[in-house]
Amino acid sequence: MRIFILTFFIISTLSTVAFAATPGEVESGEYLREAIMDGLNGKSKKLSDFKGKPLIINIWASWCGPCRDEIGSLQRLAQRYNGKEFNLIGISTDDYRVKAMAFIKQSKITFENFIDSKLFLENMLGANTIPLTVFVDANGRVLEKVRGSYNWDSPIAIDVIGKVFDINLTSQKN
């Protein structure tokens, strides 16, 4: 298990280094800027509305195969932890709201999702490849960026999330 965790962090670190920064990208260790997010399956909100708890932000698109592959595990992770130990939100980079909405409905996603039609969040978060999952502390500071599709509700991933946020998730019940 330690090897997987080490590999997970090495891959995420290398993937962050391997890609050029997006315009206005907030790097790991820096604080996110305020943004108004256009709600897809809920109300529009400000990014600062999520301060006070650690936050996982998943950037996706309905046409992205790897994004589609991991969405079920994100939904299960959200059902187990969202609003409790941390918050989880999705940001769609779709050009068409109707396509993003159809994907949310088809996938039965219940956690909050927003659309980034002006590319502000996509650029700020560094989403020049997707899926991208960004871990943010309770104060809005970016802790880690992980590129690629993962099984986010696996015991190993939950252990890694707990380590990133410095919280114990392994003793939590479904």
137-158: string of b/e by CB count within 10 Å (b at 16+)?
A: beebebebbbbebbebbeeebb
Least confident of 18-27, 69-78, 156-165: 18-27
Provide the pLDDT confidence category of residue 21 given band limits of 50, 70 and 90. Answer: confident
* Of 19-28, 48-57, 104-113, 145-154, minimum mean pLDDT range: 19-28
Which pLDDT tens digit goes with each residue over 124-137? 999 999 999 999 99
All structural domains of the chain: 2-165 (3.40.30.10)
pLDDT at 12 over 90: no
What pLDDT shows up at residue 14? 45
Instruction: Give the model's confidence band at 172: pLDDT under 50 very low, under 70 low, under 90 confident, else very high.
Output: low
Q: What is the average pLDDT across 100-122?
A: 95
In this model, does residue 105 exceed pLDDT 70?
yes
Beta-carbon count within 10 A of 59 CB: 25
15 falls in which pLDDT band (50, 70, 90)? Answer: very low
pLDDT at 170: 72
